[in-house]
Structure 1
Amino acid sequence: MDAERGESSPHGGDGRLRRRAFLVGGGLTALGLGGVALAMGPDGFRDAYARVVCGGVPDPPAVRPGERRQSRVENRAVIVALPPAPQGRVPVVIMFPEGAESARAALDLYSADRYLAASGGRFAVAAIDDWPSADVVGTVLPHLETQGFDTRKVGLLGWAAGGAEALRLAAQLGSGRVAAVAAASPAVTAARAPLRDLVDIPVWLGCGERDDRAPQTETMLKGLKALGAATEGGISSGCQDTAYRVRVLPEQFAFFSRHL
């Protein structure tokens, strides 16, 4: 009996997992995903369940992206995705992904160059290797200027830890240097967010409703609105994952197009 209930038996944990897999598997079968999940095993169940709950990663736009330019500063790669047919010195949005993803992976994983081309935005998107240890203000921005980009006023874009960094850097530089900032599920509490220093900067702030950062993101949005800040974004369907971040890229790039 204990083994069946999964309480006293050393095999109880396995019993609970089997029952949970059966219940989840039944739900997935009803949605037409059970066969795929069964064929893939436990990881298949997890992935299929995540697609149902959180939504899948959308296919990137079927457009021809602009040129990519790669250079190095402080022995780290800087990769810039340009809009198609750029004219003159285009402004730049600095992208801060979650953690220390490489510059190439940050662009490839999210297809930022294709979303940029589809948006019609007249700005470039720059990704930096290991951004947490990079001196963005002291070395990266001057480097981009020498590469022919307009860095007088930049955009800042990040998610999770990168979203917190985008907000922090925007507050540090102020509206004289930052045209707009966008953060998806930023890893910062409302109490620690530099809200008062962001009042004069257009802010896009968003989060997936199944992300545990949704309440604090909503509190930050309300706080910014109460201070009179120009805000966009909000809480929408999704989780704290690549699928959500890719889904909101078109909205974020349209936001930057209006302010850069």
Structure 2
Amino acid sequence: MTRVRPHLLVSADRDLPRVGRRAVLAAGLGAAALGVAACSDSSSATSVQPRNLEGRVADDELPVDPSPPPVTGGPPLITGSFESARMGGRETRWAVARPNGVTGKLPVVLVLHALNTNEKTIFGPKLEMQTVLQQYVDAGNPPFALAAADVGRNYYHRRLDGADGGAMILDEFLPMLANNPDLNLSTERFGLFGWSMGGYGALRLASLVGAPRVAAVAVSSPALWADPRNFPPRAFDGLEDYQANSLFGAQPSFAKIPVLINIGSSDQFYTYTRQWAAGLRPPAAFGTAAGGHTNRYWRSVLPEQVEFLGRNLAV
């Protein structure tokens, strides 16, 4: 049973940082120009065994308190939970933000969270995506809602414990959003947004659902590994799991889906992300600037991402 608890929040617009000029890179660069060998050859991938390079590869998310401080900015946050069969019967929490001053049914962007975070992190004081959304709507742009659900450390695909965060999002959370009259959301077409682990997840779900139902996908610092010998067990349960769920080779699925990728030039996933984006036809919008795998960088690009998602949802 879904439990809905509305919370009225106070605007914190004054805290929104300026967005500096960013170079927009063409994502259609050849893989050779990237100086990194592509790993889409499944025959070569099966001849190696994955090595645990956890000590050599930085974690794909900063240490973040899984229980962030109360949300204090932007429009109201509606929260609830449901028992998820796709997550092994776990009580799964969710949160939805609708912009103030808007009535009627709204399209929705599914927000997929990073490792060591949860469904409320994107709405917390370090990111405040709902405040960015409110500013976008107040400027006269087409409104939409944001919706996030907690997948823990699942990485948005089926794991050895039987839990599948990706299936939970598509098979349980999305229908719940459509069928809850208190939320008044349309899910016929939806957008996807994610950062780090959630960036990978947003791209993976977009590749599964495809256009035209996925209106657009925007990601920050997606956690991508191109080398089948170099991925951590937190992301994949072994080589077979990696081969089944890696996004390398899935680029043709995005031929009709608008994609925006933002990543800092010093981010640990920068090379792999550029390598993956080089396989997209047509090219994705690819934005980069000085910055790392940090909340500060992710917050700085949210206005661009919200505008991109809103523009494509309104088409």
What's the TM-score, normalizing by structure 2? 0.59
Q: RMSD of aligned C-alpha atoms?
A: 2.2
- For the residue of structure 2 that corresponds to 1:79, the secondary structure is strand
> Does the 8 A contact of 1:73 with 1:139 survive in 2?
no
User: Deviations for 1:1-46, whole angstroms, at most 9, x for unmatched residues?
Assistant: xxxxxxxxxxxxxxxxxxxxxxxxxxxxxxxxxxxxxxxxxxxxxx
> Does the 8 A contact of 2:74 with 2:128 survive in 1?
no
Distance 1:136 1:171 in 2: 14
Matches within 5 A, 1:20-99: 59-60=15-16, 65-74=74-83, 75-99=91-115
- For the residue of structure 2 that corresponds to 1:145, the secondary structure is helix
Matches within 5 A, 1:207-226: 207-224=263-280
Matches within 5 A, 1:86-235: 86-108=102-124, 109-120=126-137, 121-130=142-151, 132=154, 133-134=164-165, 135-147=168-180, 148-189=184-225, 192-193=246-247, 194-224=250-280, 227-229=281-283, 231-235=284-288
- For the residue of structure 2 that corresponds to 1:153, the secondary structure is strand
Distance 2:262 2:212 in 1: 24
Going by fraction, where is helix more abundant, 1 or 2?
Answer: 1
- For the residue of structure 2 that corresponds to 1:215, the secondary structure is helix
- Matched length: 199
Give the superposition deviation at 1:66: 2.2
Give the superposition deviation at 1:222: 2.7
Q: Max radius of gyration: which structure?
A: 1
- For the residue of structure 2 that corresponds to 1:99, the secondary structure is coil
Identity %: 31
For residue 305 of structure 2, what is the aligned residue in structure 1?
A: 252
Distance 2:205 2:116 in 1: 17
> Does the 8 A contact of 1:207 with 1:235 survive in 2?
yes
> Does the 8 A contact of 2:221 with 2:263 survive in 1?
yes
Distance 1:114 1:76 in 2: 24
Distance 1:186 1:100 in 2: 15
For residue 8 of structure 1, what is the aligned residue in structure 2?
A: none
Between 1:213-222 and 1:148-157, the stretch displaced more is 213-222
Between 1:69-78 and 1:197-206, the stretch displaced more is 69-78
Q: Which segments of structure 1 move beyond 4 Å, counting only runs of 4 or more?
A: none
Give the superposition deviation at 1:255: 0.3
- Letter of the 1:96 counterpart: L
User: Deviations for 1:212-248, whole angstroms, at most 9, x for unmatched residues?
Assistant: 2112222233321xx225x223222210111111111
Unaligned runs of 5+ in 2: 1-13, 18-72, 84-90, 155-163, 228-245
> Does the 8 A contact of 1:73 with 1:143 survive in 2?
no
